[in-house]
Structure 1
């Protein structure tokens, strides 16, 4: 039996549960220099404009990544493939190079691009906006790497990783 409900008391637990009904792709954001690169898992990614090529990401104020990006930094957005859940879980802990030996076990390609990801966007922060407990980074896409494959994306829905059911 379906139950329809209207809630006006917007506590963070209810809001998190309801916003989790929106399925998202999963990305790993990488910023910083080769010696001090930081990476984090994020699903708060949005395409903004094709002309000019703009995207946005949202990062909690308290996150190390916010401090790095607020300086107008260059960063890479890696779109994860369905079989990269462990990489997403690893970087959800906000790791930096040198934090653990495991960081070196992550398969990297040139620069800050993850190997076997669906695509990577190399971006430059253009505008920074404070919004509640997050910072919004409006950024220009400078280059794109796209893997040519039929691999499905890694999805996140209702607080869990999900797999896309492919149709023939």
Structure 2
């Protein structure tokens, strides 16, 4: 494993690389268009209207070419940044992994003491639970005795009513 951060950065780098490829193809297309328009410009010298139109189209093609070249430069810069981020993320992931392994070793060393403390706590809790169970049984016994006294008192009251 790579960290999610380094995978995300690698994905950005791949997308930037695809964009660079598309932009390079676009630059080539526009350069071809510019060459064709330059020929058209040359051939149209005799006809003033055609020359003006060809010049306008050639200027537009040059502007599109500059835009595509700018986009390509930005995409290349983005790709370089993404690659750098991917490398940083991988480096941080490796540091985190090393730290986790150190903590794991520390935890293994600490766990023996923790286990003894937990066993003591468990013994205390078990003893307290037993004590509470005895108290509960005692309370239930008292409740049963109280119910029994109440029934006896009720029976006596009924008997005394019957005698009247």
Normalising to structure 2: TM-score of the pair? 0.17
Higher strand share: 1
> Radius of gyration: which is bigger?
2
Normalising to structure 1: TM-score of the pair? 0.17
Q: Greater RCO between the two (CA within 8 Å, min separation 6)?
A: 2
